[in-house]
Amino acid sequence: MKKNQLILGLGVLAALAALIVWGHDRIHFDFGVFRSQLALANWGRIGIAAGCIYLGYIFRSVRWARLLRHNKQVPLLGLLGTQVIGFTAVALIGRVADLVRPYLVSKKTGLALSSQIAVYIVERLFDAGSMGLIFSCAIVFAPQGALPHPELVKKAGYWFLAATVFGALFLVAIRLAGEAVASFFQAAFGMISKNLGHAAGNKIRTFRTGLDTIRSLSDFAFTSTLSVAMWLLIAAAYLETMRAFTASPQLASMTPAKCMLLLAVSGGASALQLPVLGWFTQIGIVAAAISSFYGVAPEAATACAATLLLVTFLSVVPVGLIWAQFEHVSLRKIAVESEHAGEDLSAAESTGLGG
């Protein structure tokens, strides 16, 4: 795993270096203007945006506690530390630390790691569905002429909406007939490769285990409402941060529909998060999107992209580091332990299926 990460990191670094060399003589960047954009920003709005992000972590704690309630009762804010420390680990170490949150919840509650990984998968699917629903509605119902490349963007909105509906139907199918769905996909992929079939069936069964946490329509409604509310908070954080750059007319007058387009780009850029280096690649991708979509000057676009990363991704780090000290948690150690535990669990499940 570490070797693959090193190769991937070197590849991204080489691509970033090539991009810098390519743009050196093509893009004029004035660092004085960049600093003035930051100095003239409305930091009150940026503070509100950070508050929205922190409130989102509280929502995450409540959601995870709610998903556990049929197996173990925990206080609604009892898992807040696991969320804050887990996202701090991802911010500093990269996506390899994704399993820190389920690992910490497993240790804190005494529940099996496999069950918490299943909850993590369900949580991520609710995140994807909520973001897709908000993005689709914002794009589809945007006023005429409110978006760049409106025909292409509207089509993307409809596709996102269709994917969200399909995902919801697939979720219902697995919840009602998970074993049958798993067996179908295991047989279908098994015609290509027996191992691939086992892997597909195993993933669906793991997902089915996670869905055992949703046993009624009220469970589904509560989790869905909480997830949508959380992503509305994240969208509000993006919008407030962008509007904070009052020296850039395009950013100061940013609309929710345009903001959601950037949120989708940012979400895609953060999917492959490398330690530290990923911060700069994400800033570069988001800044390029801001500049090309909305005609914002490179200096303002880069200042906005860097602030978005700080507010939505890195603002949790100081609190997470302090919380980890109080909990006597070493981020690097817990990231390695969670990765190894996840690998051991996958190997054990594969062996069991193979037997």
Long-range contacts, stretch 250-253, CB < 8 angstroms, 24+ apart: 250/294, 250/295, 250/296, 250/300, 251/290, 251/294, 251/296, 251/300, 251/304
As a whole number of angstroms, the distance between CA 43 and CA 3 comes to: 41
User: To which H or E segment does residue 71 belong?
Assistant: none
- Residue 139 in contact with residue 258, Cβ under 8 Å? no
In tens digits, what is the pLDDT along the chain, a chain of 355 residues? Answer: 444 554 545 555 555 555 555 555 556 777 888 899 999 999 999 999 999 999 999 999 999 999 888 888 899 899 999 999 999 999 888 877 889 999 999 999 998 888 888 888 888 888 988 888 888 887 777 776 666 666 666 676 677 777 777 777 877 777 777 788 888 888 888 888 777 777 777 777 777 776 777 778 888 889 999 999 999 999 999 999 999 999 999 999 998 888 888 888 887 767 666 666 778 888 888 998 899 888 899 999 999 999 999 999 999 999 999 999 999 999 889 988 888 887 766 666 555 544 3
Extract the tokens encoding 120.
């993590």
As a whole number of angstroms, the distance between CA 311 and CA 1 comes to: 30
Helices marked H in the chain = 2-24, 31-39, 43-68, 80-93, 100-109, 113-140, 150-190, 194-211, 217-243, 249-252, 256-270, 277-294, 298-309, 317-326, 331-354
Place of tokens 């003035």: 36
Q: Which of 228, 312, 232 is nearest to 269 (CA)?
A: 312
What is the chain's Cα-based Rg?
A: 21
Q: Which of 175, 305, 178 is nearest to 242 (CA)?
A: 305
- Which residue ranges make up each domain of the chain? 237-315
Given this model, what pLDDT does residue 172 score?
77
Given this model, what pLDDT does residue 311 score?
95
Cβ neighbours, 10 Å, residue 349: 17
Cβ neighbours, 10 Å, residue 354: 9
As a whole number of angstroms, the distance between CA 264 and CA 66 comes to: 27
Given this model, what pLDDT does residue 85 score?
95
Non-local CB neighbours of 212 within 8 Å, separated by 6+ positions: 70, 118
Given this model, what pLDDT does residue 2 score?
47
For 204, phi then psi, to 5°, come to -70, -40
As a whole number of angstroms, the distance between CA 292 and CA 149 comes to: 11
As a whole number of angstroms, the distance between CA 312 and CA 302 comes to: 15
Q: Which of 191, 218, 214, 234 is nearest to 55 (CA)?
A: 234
With left for phi above 0 and alpha for psi between -120 and 50, is residue 297 left, alpha or beta?
A: beta
- Residue 133 in contact with residue 150, Cβ under 8 Å? no
Q: Let me know if 211 is exposed, middle or buried by CB neighbors in 10 A (0-12, 13-18, 19+).
A: buried
For 233, phi then psi, to 5°, come to -65, -40
For 117, phi then psi, to 5°, come to -65, -40
